[in-house]
A and B are shown apart, each in its own frame.
Chain A
Amino acid sequence: MEDKHKDLIIRMFHAHKSYGAKKALVDINLDIYKNEFLFVTGPSGAGKTTLLKLLYLGEPATEGQILVDGMNLSRIPAKRTPFLRRKFGVIFQDYKLIANKTVFDNIALVLEAAGKNRKMLVKKVNSVLRMVGMEDKRGMLPPSLSGGEQQRIAVARAVVGDPKIILADEPTGSLDPESADIIFDLLARFHMLGGTLIVATHDRNLLQKPGCRIIRLQHGQMVN
């Protein structure tokens, strides 16, 4: 129990999120441990995306406490937010790649923002491009790539900064089954290397994967 507590990386304690009168998340209590592979599932509008947003301070919680790797998000000053976000790699259903930047530049942005030197940056970006099998596409612009390829770039961008946690919001939602498998394999690799993975999805195929914890949200509440 003692050891397990030491491995706690995220704790949500009576976390609430409201948008005006609409309650998006209600009384969420959730502990997530290092190297855990967690699926957050539930119907559309259940609060999966909101839950992920609360973790990287895309939105602040309305009530309750959230601790991420020792940082209390309700007390973190605005200027420290970027440092919190560097603990995460975030993957979105719509990829969120910068259309007028090359594949290489999109990935390099993470390291540039963290102030890494050019030599190290080039080495690291090339390494993750190799990992996702997109080395030959480094000079291309995202709109010229397929959905599956863009999502592989998004995965590369998420892992390039060596984050402790990856948050993936419907990462396979707009992909064909073959591309979805590739993305899942890449995520599983990150997990195998010791990373913590939180995936919001209602993709039943993904939920079949063994060794993962699943939590279910409904109307903003955890139901099991």
Chain B
Amino acid sequence: MLFFIRKALKDIADNRLLNGVAIITIALSVLIVSAFGLFYINADELLTSWKSGIRVMAYLSPSVDDKTISDTKQMIQTMAGVEAVTFISKDEALETFRKQLKGQASLLDNLKGNPLPDAFELRLYPDTRTEGRVEALAKQIESLAAITDVEYGQKWVGSMLSVLNLFRFAGYAMGALFFMATVFIVANTIRLILYSRRDEVEIMRLVGATDGFIQAPFIIEGMLQGLAGAVFGLGALFISYLFIASNIGQDYFGSGFIIRFFPFETCGLIVMASMMIGWIGCYLSLKQFLK
């Protein structure tokens, strides 16, 4: 094995230009596909952190009495997916609003009465925090006689999910395309190297070398190209990540969300996938060349 690795390294050194082109191509493919992956992972995590903060507010009609409020609370409490219901009186709501306005609280001084309604704030179980289930629950609450309106962040959650899904599918499609393109380029690079060394391959066959003996250094060469491409691609992505992360601050998106890089295991998977690309590329050209 060491013999073949040494041979492959020597071959790479002898064919620096062709191998360099293959490595750069793999690195660019790894960079683009991984950038998509990293964006998706972070966007997904961000959305999850936002989704966990989804609040459902059910506003009560102004004319309801205390018994109706209590009955309605009971009914909401028993609905599937509801973890807790908190009553917020209109006075509490105004007080909270006043606190939020801070310096501009004096604006509320001229109000004739309290325009805010009484409301229930609902906390949902995590499995209910999907767009469809929140929407169904909102409709169910809205159908209660004492409730005038139900609010939750359905629109932006829905839009974000759609964008995220679009990114995911675009990522898959681009990943597949780059995978094929890279395999093709590696296969062609190895074919060019084989072509430039066809006399050597012919002589090796004449002296009784098996196909395995001839192929092994090329296969290792392809895998080393994949390894080098992945290291450069991920390295470039990591530098970009450091640059972005240091420029947008630790808690730019709120909810305690921090932009992350791929975990070590994912980096390992990317490197292995890249080496596999090199291997497939080699295998295809060798199969054709040694036929």
Contacts and interface: CB of A to CB of B under 8 A. Distances in A.
Interface of A: 56, 58, 79, 82-86, 90, 96-101, 109-110, 112-114, 157, 161
Nearest to A85: B208
Contacts of B202: 96
Given A100-B14, A112-B3, A83 B199 contact: no
B206 interface: yes
Contact of A109 (B14, B203, B211): B203
Contact size range, B = 10 to 19
- The DSSP consensus for interface residues of chain B is helix
B13 to A, nearest CB: 11
Contact of B206 (A96, A100, A101, A114): A96
A113 B200 CA distance: 13
A113 B203 contact: no
A220 to B, nearest CB: 23
B269 interface: no
A109 B206 contact: no
Interface in B173-225: 199-200, 202-211, 213
B199 A113 contact: no
Contacts of B3: 112
Contacts of B211: 79, 82
A109 B204 contact: yes
B167 to A, nearest CB: 48
B14 A113 contact: no
Given A112-B3, A161-B208, A96 B213 contact: no
Contacts of B206: 56, 58, 85, 90, 96
A83 B205 CA distance: 10
A100 B197 CA distance: 10
A83 B208 contact: yes
Nearest to B7: A112
20 contacts: A79-B211, A82-B205, A82-B208, A82-B213, A83-B208, A84-B208, A85-B206, A86-B208, A90-B207, A97-B203, A98-B200, A100-B14, A101-B200, A109-B207, A109-B209, A110-B208, A112-B209, A113-B208, A113-B210, A113-B213
A109 B208 CA distance: 10
A182 to B, nearest CB: 22
Nearest to B202: A96
Nearest to A113: B209
9 residue pairs, one from A and one from B, having the closest CB atoms: A113-B209, A86-B208, A85-B208, A82-B208, A110-B207, A82-B210, A98-B200, A113-B208, A96-B203
